[in-house]
Amino acid sequence: MKHLLLSAALAASLILPAYGAEPAPIPSPGEIAAAAPASDWVAIAPSDLLVMDLAPDAKGKPRHVVIQLMSAPFSQGWIGNIRKLAAAHWWDGTSVNRVQDNYVAQWGDATEKKALPTGLTAVSESRYVASDPASGQAAVDGKPAIRLSKDEANRRAKQFEQAGKGDIFGGASMADAYAPGVMFESGWPIGYSSAQVPDSRWPLHCYGAVGVGRNLSPDTGSGAELYAVIGHAPRHLDRNIAVVGRVISGIEHLSSLPRGTGALGFYEDAAERVAITSIRVATELPAADQPRFEYLSTESDSFARYADARANRRDPFFITPAGGADICNIPVPVRPVAAK
């Protein structure tokens, strides 16, 4: 097949198929991830998955979107609200109301009049970042401090030291314009307040990130109004809006929606809105319908090799390796768990 962006395109897939019968002489990032041992993959608990069903498309095809909720210690106040909203089936009958090109698709109650469930928390702006003192104590969203294991504290200290030199994986650069340090933690791209052992850190607005719409400060949003990033990472939103998760399946059902022609990409005609049939935490679904996913442990050697290969492409398509990569251009590999 001629005129393809062959290996380049393969690398862009989160789930990277074996392509062709012969293994490449030098594996692509996707091939490295695919070859990782099962022990390097981490199952995502169904209780951390949000399943959004949009109304079927014009051809009657179902549109399922699966969102992985952010791990502690990040954004847990908003995520608590989101769990309550899902349990109340609050989003059922709401809609995607805004799709702005190279920016976000946003959903919620277009009337802005639907009553919220009781018991939602008003989260403080201080929770856009998580505290994690150098002592290894972590005060997490108001819960009692937790102690990092010595190994984990040492691992982080080493990563921070490398981040300070602007090189993380095998000498490749992750130089970043938005944060003093960036790193992966428990499968998520994270920013740090210091390239040394940090005292605060926060989740990043990469492609697919899900965030909480809000009004002007000091409002932080309830979690009822959500958006997914469908364009170049709008990292200027980091620490200004809560990131609560990321789309791990079905992003195309949001990213390929018609763009709104109103200000900020809002649909001008109510008929353009895309109906949301339901949003559920996966544990509320019948067992057979619960999606099962796993991610490549960002603490594994396989991930280090994958990230290095993203930064220094040596597979046959490439002639000039970059020597570095934007953290948002090192998507954490996520894949469905194979049926047994």
Stretch that binds a second copy, among 83-91, 140-148, 154-162, 229-237 (CB under 8 A): 229-237
- The Cα–Cα gap between 173 and 234 comes to 20
Binders of a second copy among residues 128 to 147 (CB under 8 A) are 128
102 in contact with a second copy (CB under 8 A): yes
Q: Which residues pair with 201 in a beta bridge?
A: 130, 192
Binders of a second copy among residues 255 to 284 (CB under 8 A) are 255-259, 263-265
- With respect to a second copy, which residue has the nearer C-beta, 61 or 150? 61
Q: Contact with a second copy (CB under 8 A): which of 246, 273, 310, 335?
A: 310
Q: Which residues pair with 185 in a beta bridge?
A: 188
Q: Contact with a second copy (CB under 8 A): which of 6, 35, 116, 148?
A: 6
Neighbouring C-beta atoms of residue 51, cutoff 10 Å: 22
- The Cα–Cα gap between 139 and 123 comes to 16
Binders of a second copy among residues 20 to 49 (CB under 8 A) are none
318 in contact with a second copy (CB under 8 A): yes
- The Cα–Cα gap between 322 and 169 comes to 13
17 in contact with a second copy (CB under 8 A): yes
Outline where the chain has alpha helix (H).
6-12, 29-34, 76-87, 150-164, 252-255, 301-311
User: Please, are residues 256 and 2 in contact by the beta-carbon 8 Å criterion?
Assistant: no
Q: Contact with a second copy (CB under 8 A): which of 84, 214, 273, 305?
A: 214
- 235 to 254: interface string for a second copy, x by CB under 8 A: xxxxxxx---------xx--
173 in contact with a second copy (CB under 8 A): yes
Stretch that binds a second copy, among 84-92, 114-122, 208-216, 282-290 (CB under 8 A): 208-216
- The Cα–Cα gap between 47 and 69 comes to 9
- With respect to a second copy, which residue has the nearer C-beta, 155 or 259? 259
217 in contact with a second copy (CB under 8 A): yes
Neighbouring C-beta atoms of residue 98, cutoff 10 Å: 25
224 in contact with a second copy (CB under 8 A): yes
Tokens of residue 125, six digits? 């702006």
175 in contact with a second copy (CB under 8 A): yes
Of 73, 83, 48, 63, whose CA–CA distance to 293 is shortest? 48
